[in-house]
Amino acid sequence: MPIRSISERALEQGQGVLRLAPNWVPRSFCRPGKRLKLHPDDYFALGLVRGGIDERWLASTTRADNGPGTPQDEGLSYVLVDQEGKEGVLLRDAVEALRSQIIGEDLWNKYHRWPMFSKFFDNLGPLPHHIHHRDQHAALVGEKGKPEMYFFPAQMNNYPGEFAYTFFGLDPEVTKKETKEALVNFVKGDNHILELSRAFKLQVDTGWDVPPGILHAPGSLCTYEPQFASDVYAMYQSVLLADHCVPPELLWKNMPVDRIGDFDYLVDVIDWDLNVDPDFHKHRFMAPKPDADLERMKDEGYLSEWICYRCKEASAKRLTVYPGKTVIIKDQAAYGMILLQGHGRFGKWDIETPAMLRFGQLTNDEFFVTETAAKGGITVTNMSSLEPIVMLKHFAENPELVL
């Protein structure tokens, strides 16, 4: 059946809400934190060469850049048709076929695609101090810059991993000369670049804004990451906690061929003012904040909060519906949704939070809401008398967001 016909059928069946299949992504340089609800035997389901599964991508039309051997659909979300999910289509292809019917005219006319995705990133230890390129540098390799944000859901963090601290940026007194020297020393052993940076202890149910061009070494909490639809990065740290080493080629990842070996170019990729900002915490930290009157929401049986709100290209809300309540929730933009806790109804769909998944198993915890359905309002019913429903909603550009 043609992609357009399948997409229209899925849209009709869900009354504007598309059900998505779990979308697992391995990383060869990471170690799974095992908080993604996969069965313990399935974190290496793709084989040791591909690496452990430590990411679940959400509402993604972006292919994962995992080097040679990466399947063509890795990182891409699938829309499921009917409850059994026997037929499906890539969300990317559905958006290309139905355009504004799914994401709205403004986003389609500006980007001609769904321009963001989110993920759960679940690593046992810290990542290297690394960077996502700004538009001007990413454009040199045919890509876009990558702003991203972090939120650390309590439901996904039953333990903190090995190192629940994230290094951000550089100390205000650090010079470009010192930074370049650390990069030159990458292949000599530990280049000590973290000694030029600052660490912040991570708190569950809070988050951080990470614009492109900022160095960051993410800590070991399981992280929800709304981000622009790009997968560009370069690793600037050579040796990690417990002497885990970073391959030298990752220092030059997503760099133009004629700039490989140019350490001045690596320094230029850094947004210097943002990295040495003495008020980094004040400008980048995010605590949840209500998106409407608290008393009114409480009386109606729910709480809606902005959790990622310092970036116009990608943002996120957390919705809590109290036990036994039914509410109608309206938003002004299309969004992806992932359920963290509880069970009930979301529009016409049954929703439930899985306790454990086998690789390849389908779920009722992830959906995509079209702009029309979001503006019309989604009826959410909590069918538990004791447990709240908690879900995260990831947006591209949302006109409700005030920076």
Sheet harboring 216-217: ordered strands across? 198-201, 165-168, 216-217, 130-131, 234-235
Of 283, 270, 285, 249, whose CA–CA distance to 196 is shortest?
A: 270
Q: How much is the pLDDT for 84?
A: 78
- The answer to whether residue 168 sits within a structural domain is yes
Domain range for 264: 3-284
State the total domains in the chain: 2
pLDDT at residue 261, as a whole number: 96
The answer to whether residues 267 and 348 belong to one domain is no
In terms of domains, do 90 and 151 share one? yes
Q: What CA–CA distance (Å, rounded) separates 193 from 263?
A: 14
- Residue 403 forms part of a structural domain: no
State how far the Cα of 1 lies from the Cα of 8, in Å rounded to an integer: 11
> Which among 219, 212, 210 is positioned nearest to 270, based on CA atoms?
212
Helix, strand or coil, per DSSP, at residue 350: strand
Is 50 domain-assigned?
A: yes
* Helices 91-98 and 3-13, packing angle to 10 deg: 90
Q: CATH number, domain at 166? A: 2.60.120.10
Specify the residue for token string 């990466």. 70
Q: Which of 284, 302, 333 is the endpoint of a domain?
A: 284
Q: Is 224 helix (H, G, I), strand (E, B) or coil?
A: strand
Please indicate, yes or no, whether residues 362 and 218 belong to a single structural domain of this protein.
no
- Residue 83 located in a structural domain: yes
Q: Are residues 250 and 308 in the same domain?
A: no
Report how far Cα 358 is from the mean position of its chain's Cα atoms. Answer: 22
Question: How confident is the model at residue 231, as a pLDDT?
Answer: 82
What are the pLDDT digits (tens) for 317-346?
Answer: 999 999 999 999 999 999 999 999 999 999
Neighbouring C-beta atoms of residue 92, cutoff 10 Å = 20
| Integer Cα distance of 276 and 364 in angstroms | 44
Q: Is-contact 144 229, C-beta < 8 A?
A: yes
Task: Please report whether residue 106 resides in a domain.
Answer: yes
Same domain for 378 and 273: no
The C-alpha atoms of residue 124 and residue 181 are separated, in whole angstroms, by 29
Same-domain check for residues 275 and 149: yes
Tokens coding 52: 């452990």
d(CA 41, CA 332): 41
- In terms of domains, do 314 and 270 share one? no
**How far apart are the C-alpha atoms of 14 and 349, rounded to whole Å?**
7
What are 339's strand-pairing partners? 391
Successive 10-residue mean pLDDT values, the chain, 403 residues: 92 97 90 96 94 96 87 95 83 98 98 97 96 96 95 98 97 98 97 97 98 97 96 93 90 95 98 98 98 96 98 97 98 98 98 97 97 98 98 97 89
Position 242 scores a pLDDT of 84
The predicted pLDDT at position 38 comes to 97
pLDDT for 382: 98
- Looking at the DSSP bridge assignments, the partners of residue 222 are none
Whether residue 202 sits in one domain with residue 333:
no
Among candidate residues 227, 260, 284, the one where a domain is terminated: 284
pLDDT at residue 28, as a whole number: 82
My answer on whether 322 and 296 are in the same domain is yes
351 burial class (0-12, 13-18, 19+ CB within 10 angstroms)?
buried
Closest alpha carbon to 220 in 199, 251, 249, 246 = 199
Query: Is residue 402 in some structural domain?
Result: no
Q: Are 280 and 297 within one domain? A: no
Q: Which two tokens stand for residue 69?
A: 């051997």
Whether residue 274 lies inside any domain: the answer is: yes
**How many CB atoms within 10 Å of residue 349?**
17
Q: Are residues 171 and 246 in the same domain?
A: yes
Cβ 214 vs Cβ 283: under 8 Å: no
pLDDT, position 266: 98
Of 259, 284, 309, the residue that ends a domain is 284
Please tell me whether residues 135 and 229 are part of one structural domain. yes
Which pLDDT belongs to residue 288?
98
277: in domain: yes
Distance of CA 71 to the CA centre of its chain: 20
Give the pairing of strands 389-395 and 78-81.
Answer: unpaired
DSSP code at position 65: -
